């Protein structure tokens, strides 16, 4: 398997990375089943393993499964999402980062983390504080490189400038969503990452299951009934899938291979995170690792999904606070009494 450089870190990683959200016991697999999937991925040449402290017991399962094989792996985890009921058991403050990294190291059964990532932007914490705390972790040897996830282009730039001005470690990677159905990052995120020499570890390359070919328009199936695909009622996304299926068939490819090959074809993408439930699902994806799409196929994809556009709404996409809270995007009315208003009239 050919490897790619992770940003400007010099770390070499595989074009497919194994995401371990599905390893959480609450997802249905036993720890032994998850360990077999992880070992199968390592044996196939995947060397980047991504988890998070918010993925229930995923870190613990990964830590046990890596016994004896830790040196083979570029191990990535994330912090920032709530992991407890307390208001300070989340976020990007120095206080929480220092606690969170120790807990992750313990669960992962390792002395260091190759890539430590801010899971979601924290508007309540100054970026300088976050970068200063992460810089100290690098200096201590507990962390090798740092990254972020779900960050806007303007915040990526801001973080790079703060790091340069203050002499702090800078983010080496970003985790945005990217797939045949979600190409919005081609507009600003990917060019910004390329400008600063950052690696892109993209998630959702199979469109949260819509690009498996198992979900079809006007078809009932187990995935719909299970509730695992919460966005299958988005008819626009399903319409696009129906146009991509014959394109893949004409190219002699399963839809999953077309989707994965498209995702890692962009020069700004370092690795695509795959999350699987079974060894069979992993093997099916690995079978398409060497697929390269011709310019003709890529041009046809552009006609179906124009570059830089998102089709429909991704329910897990990060939304800036002003888009979620109306009070943050509206000026308050002047606080005058009804009598004052009548007099003014």
Using DSSP bridges, classify how beta strands 199-202 and 271-274 pair: parallel, antiparallel or unpaired: parallel
Q: What is the largest CA-CA distance in the chain?
A: 81
Give the whole-angstrom CA distance, residue 257 versus residue 259. 5
Q: How far is CA 191 from each of CA 40, 49, 95, 296, rounded to the nearest angstrom?
A: 34, 25, 33, 23
Cβ(211)–Cβ(256) below 8 Å: yes
Give the whole-angstrom CA distance, residue 178 versus residue 181. 8
Give the whole-angstrom CA distance, residue 248 versus residue 301. 10
Report H helices in the chain. Answer: 31-44, 58-65, 94-108, 127-140, 153-166, 189-195, 222-226, 235-250, 255-265, 279-286, 295-304, 321-324, 338-344
The residue annotated as part of the active site, out of 55, 112, 116, 178, is 55
Cβ(149)–Cβ(143) below 8 Å: no
Residue 16 annotated to the active site? no
Active site residues: 55
């Amino acid at each position: 398997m050919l490897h790619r450089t992770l940003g400007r870190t010099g770390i070499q990683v595989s074009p497919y990375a194994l995401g371990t959200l599905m390893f959480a016991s609450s997802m249905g697999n036993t720890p032994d089943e998850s360990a077999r999937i992880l070992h199968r991925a390592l044996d196939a040449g995947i060397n980047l393993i991504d988890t998070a402290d918010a993925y229930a017991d995923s870190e613990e399962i990964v830590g046990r499964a890596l016994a004896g094989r830790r040196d083979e792996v570029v191990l990535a985890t994330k912090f920032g999402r709530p992991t407890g009921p307390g208001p300070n058991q989340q976020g990007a403050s120095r206080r929480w980062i220092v606690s969170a990294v120790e807990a992750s190291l313990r669960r992962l059964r390792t002395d260091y983390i190759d890539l430590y990532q801010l899971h979601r932007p924290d508007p309540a914490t100054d970026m300088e504080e976050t970068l200063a705390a992460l810089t100290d972790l690098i200096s201590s040897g507990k962390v090798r490189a740092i990254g972020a996830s779900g960050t806007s282009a303007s915040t990526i730039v801001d973080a790079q400038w703060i790091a340069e001005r203050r002499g702090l470690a800078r983010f080496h990677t970003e985790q945005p969503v990217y797939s045949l159905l979600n190409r919005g990052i081609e507009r600003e995120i990917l060019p910004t990452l390329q400008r600063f020499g950052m690696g892109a570890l993209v998630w959702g390359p199979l469109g949260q299951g819509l690009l498996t070919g198992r979900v079809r328009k006007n078809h009932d199936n187990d995935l719909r009934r299970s509730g695992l695909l919460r966005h299958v009622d988005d008819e626009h996304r399903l319409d696009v899938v129906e146009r991509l299926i014959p394109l893949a068939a004409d190219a002699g490819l399963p839809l999953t291979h077309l989707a994965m090959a498209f995702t890692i074809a962009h020069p700004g993408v370092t690795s695509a995170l795959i999350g699987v439930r079974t060894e069979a699902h992993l093997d099916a994806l690995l079978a398409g690792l060497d697929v390269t799409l011709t310019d003709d196929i890529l041009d046809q994809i552009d006609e179906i999904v124009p570059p830089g556009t998102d089709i429909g709404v991704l329910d897990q996409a990060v939304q800036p606070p002003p888009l979620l809270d109306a009070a943050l995007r509206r000026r308050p009315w002047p606080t005058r009494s009804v009598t004052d208003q009548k007099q003014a009239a």
